[in-house]
Chains A and B, each alone.
Chain A
Amino acid sequence: MSDENSRTLMDAGDLESSSMHINLGPSHPAMHGVVRITLDVDGEKVLSSELEIGYLHRGFEKSAENKRYTQIFPYTDRLNYVSPLLNNFGFALAVEKLLGIEAPRRTQFIRVILGEISRITDHLTCNGAVMMELGGFTPFLYAIKARERLYKIIEKVTGARLTVNYSRVGGLRGDLPENFREELLAILKEVEEDLKDIDTLVTRNRIFMDRLVGIGVITKADCIKWGITGPVARASGFDYDIRRDHPYFVYDELDFDVPIGVNGDNYDRFLVRAEEINQSIKIIKQALDLLPNGPIQVSDPRIVMPDKTKIYNTIESMTANFKLTIDGIKVPAGEIYSFTEAGNGELGFYIVSDGTGYPYRVRVRPPCFFNTQALPNMINGGTIGDIVPTFGSINMIAGELDR
């Protein structure tokens, strides 16, 4: 009898086992936005995973084909909604290149300053979310507090926190408010204090490091193969920053470093983002010192609306206003691929124009499309618990992913 019992125990290992099928998302607190991951798991171990996207698809590209160039700006706000200004400026740059014009110098500096503020809010959101998902609610609130300070100044300039619609072809909607420089410097000081708080609380925290170091690794070669750019690629040692390698606006006049990671794991991604925030602050301070006076819009009447007083008082300006409203900006026929460094990497706009006021085709190259596509590589072989920080650290933004 006892002999038989021991035999059954020994044979338990030979019993047929099958992997389990689990759905993570589409609606799950750790899935930023909506995306569904279907997992095959063996206990805690992830055997394979597949992503399903498109839950937030709203036809940006189709809408853009049916709108005038100026009308597209509000739509670009909703691409990467934690750094809307970077999308605004990226699109404006693409159309300006197609028109063969360059925005005035003051505008370019303002774009750099506000763009970097947006980059900080983007990185703070991502790092904050990673910290929160690992159970650290306090540092998350610190990050959100710092972000809120920056949103306040963005609101003061543009009138909105997220749906900014601030940029225009050939310029900006309005100039900076009075005392902008002093207020921004004061806010940056407060933000630096918040960053210090986060840094001392989290960065060398043992529990935090245990969850991030060596998890979700992607190598440099894989980054290039999968087309990954931005902080995720830089954390893997792929030294590519469009601001430095293909400078646009006035980035070539500013001095900043590009932080590079070594291991390509979650911890390096966290550190790269944290250091990029510091570099952005450095850029903003330099740009504030160099900010010149002058116009904020080009003076071409085919592109920019005339002054309101002129519209009411002269027939030419009224006609120009009418033509611009009805026909839009007539962009010469041609095609362009223009790319800028957004919060997540290379944000490209491929615009085909047929010479009318409407673009013939607008294609967005969303940076996190590529990050998300490579996600199964990072989570396969790990545990279910590691999916959440890995998913958080690639910073998938559904608005940009699904367009």
Chain B
Amino acid sequence: MSKQILEKILKKFPSDIVSSHSMFGNETVEIKKESFYKLIEFLKDSRQFEIDMLVDITCVDYPYQSNRFMMVYHLYSTTLKHRVRVKTALLEENPTIESIVPLWESANWLEREVFDMFGVIFKNHPNLKRILLYDSFKGYPLRKDYPITQRQPIVGPLN
């Protein structure tokens, strides 16, 4: 079943898929940013796949590439028990992507965390602010150019 997903996606979006693989049984497609939302919507609405659960959203930083931020979405079908991973690359100068909160409400905190840690902006997100760190924190700690030794203690009362 999982293999069929890749074939179906490739057939549906022939020109937008950048690459695909199924390493270790994790079916993965990388899609251009322009068609990303359409693909997620297609997967969610499609009767064949019955993808109904958003498992995880995260990001990987590749500082030496122009497509610096690789967004990674893990999706799962609770009825057919298969998974698919959708990736899409964002440019370093414009790290914005469509928010998928309208499709899954659980994306709310996940996207806030990616914003918090990587500085990726989610368009149409209802409440995009830092979640794990405090508001006056400077920089995005999970970017590779943020040194692990850097410290930013909060001094004094917040307000």
Q: Which of A98, A225, A352 contacts B24 (CB 8 A)?
A: A98
A62 and B148 in contact (CB under 8 A), knowing A227-B55, A402-B132?
yes
Contact A227 B142 (CB under 8 A): no
**Residue of A98, A363, A403 with most chain B CB atoms under a 10 A cut-off:** A363
Contact B24 A227 (CB under 8 A): no
Determine the chain B residues whose CB is within 8 A of the CB of A346 once the complex forms. Answer: 55
Determine the chain B residues whose CB is within 8 A of the CB of A152 once the complex forms. Answer: none
- Closest chain-B Cβ to A182's Cβ sits at a distance in Å of 39
Contact A226 B133 (CB under 8 A): no
A350 and B56 in contact (CB under 8 A), knowing A62-B141, A238-B78, A336-B24?
yes
Contact with A along B35-62 (1 / 0, CB 8 A): 0000000000000000011111010110
Complex Cα gap A370–B109 (Å):
8
Complex Cα gap A59–B110 (Å):
16
Complex Cα gap A53–B116 (Å):
13
Determine the chain A residues whose CB is within 8 A of the CB of B123 once the complex forms. Answer: none
Complex Cα gap A65–B74 (Å):
21
Contact A59 B141 (CB under 8 A): yes
Contact A54 B24 (CB under 8 A): no
Complex Cα gap A334–B85 (Å):
14
Interface residue A61 (Cβ < 8 Å from any Cβ of B): yes
Interface residue A369 (Cβ < 8 Å from any Cβ of B): yes
Complex Cα gap A375–B52 (Å):
20
Determine the chain A residues whose CB is within 8 A of the CB of B83 once the complex forms. Answer: 337
Contact B106 A54 (CB under 8 A): no
A361 and B108 in contact (CB under 8 A), knowing A227-B54, A337-B26, A346-B55?
no
Complex Cα gap A373–B83 (Å):
22
- Closest chain-B Cβ to A169's Cβ sits at a distance in Å of 16
Determine the chain B residues whose CB is within 8 A of the CB of A334 once the complex forms. Answer: 23-24
Complex Cα gap A65–B142 (Å):
9
Interface residue B13 (Cβ < 8 Å from any Cβ of A): no
Contact A226 B105 (CB under 8 A): yes
Query: Dominant SS at the A interface?
Result: mixed
Q: What residue of chain A has the Cβ atom nearest to residue B116's Cβ? A: A54
Q: Which of B26, B54, B148 contacts A335 (CB 8 A)?
A: B26
Complex Cα gap A361–B61 (Å):
8
Determine the chain B residues whose CB is within 8 A of the CB of A238 once the complex forms. Answer: 78
Contact A360 B60 (CB under 8 A): yes
Determine the chain B residues whose CB is within 8 A of the CB of A246 once the complex forms. Answer: 81
Contact A240 B78 (CB under 8 A): yes
Interface residue B5 (Cβ < 8 Å from any Cβ of A): no
Interface residue B131 (Cβ < 8 Å from any Cβ of A): yes
Complex Cα gap A238–B26 (Å):
23
Contact B78 A57 (CB under 8 A): no
Determine the chain B residues whose CB is within 8 A of the CB of A227 once the complex forms. Answer: 53-55, 104, 106
Interface residue B72 (Cβ < 8 Å from any Cβ of A): yes
Complex Cα gap A388–B95 (Å):
40
- Closest chain-B Cβ to A252's Cβ sits at a distance in Å of 14
Complex Cα gap A286–B12 (Å):
48
| Interface size counted on chain B using CB atoms at 8 A | 34
Q: Which of A53, A225, A350 contacts B132 (CB 8 A)?
A: A53
Q: What residue of chain B has the Cβ atom nearest to residue A369's Cβ? A: B109
Q: What residue of chain B has the Cβ atom nearest to residue A51's Cβ? A: B109
Complex Cα gap A97–B26 (Å):
11
Q: Which of A65, A226, A403 contacts B106 (CB 8 A)?
A: A226
Determine the chain B residues whose CB is within 8 A of the CB of A369 once the complex forms. Answer: 109-110
Q: What residue of chain B has the Cβ atom nearest to residue A348's Cβ? A: B56
Interface residue A23 (Cβ < 8 Å from any Cβ of B): no
Interface residue A19 (Cβ < 8 Å from any Cβ of B): no
Contact B131 A53 (CB under 8 A): yes
Q: What residue of chain A has the Cβ atom nearest to residue B109's Cβ? A: A373
Question: Which residues 129-171 in A have Cβ within 8 Å of B in the complex?
Answer: none
Interface residue A16 (Cβ < 8 Å from any Cβ of B): no
Determine the chain A residues whose CB is within 8 A of the CB of B142 once the complex forms. Answer: 61-62
Contact B72 A350 (CB under 8 A): yes
Interface residue A245 (Cβ < 8 Å from any Cβ of B): yes
Contact B141 A336 (CB under 8 A): no
Q: Which of A59, A225, A245, A365 contacts B105 (CB 8 A)?
A: A225
Complex Cα gap A350–B83 (Å):
14
Interface residue A224 (Cβ < 8 Å from any Cβ of B): yes
Complex Cα gap A238–B81 (Å):
13
Contact B58 A54 (CB under 8 A): no
Contact with B along A287-326 (1 / 0, CB 8 A): 0000000000000000000000000000000000000000
Q: What residue of chain A has the Cβ atom nearest to residue B83's Cβ? A: A337
Question: Which residues 71-89 in B have Cβ within 8 Å of A in the complex?
Answer: 72, 74, 78, 81, 83, 85
Contacts A63-B148, A336-B23, A348-B55 known; 8 new A-B pairs at CB < 8 A: A53-B132, A54-B131, A61-B117, A61-B142, A337-B83, A337-B85, A350-B72, A403-B132
**In the complex, the 4 A-B pairs of residues with the closest C-beta atoms, listed nearest first:** A54-B132, A227-B106, A57-B132, A363-B58
Please, could you name 13 A-B residue pairs with CB atoms under 8 Å apart, sorted by A?
A54-B130, A225-B104, A227-B55, A240-B78, A246-B81, A335-B23, A336-B26, A337-B56, A348-B74, A350-B58, A361-B60, A365-B74, A373-B106
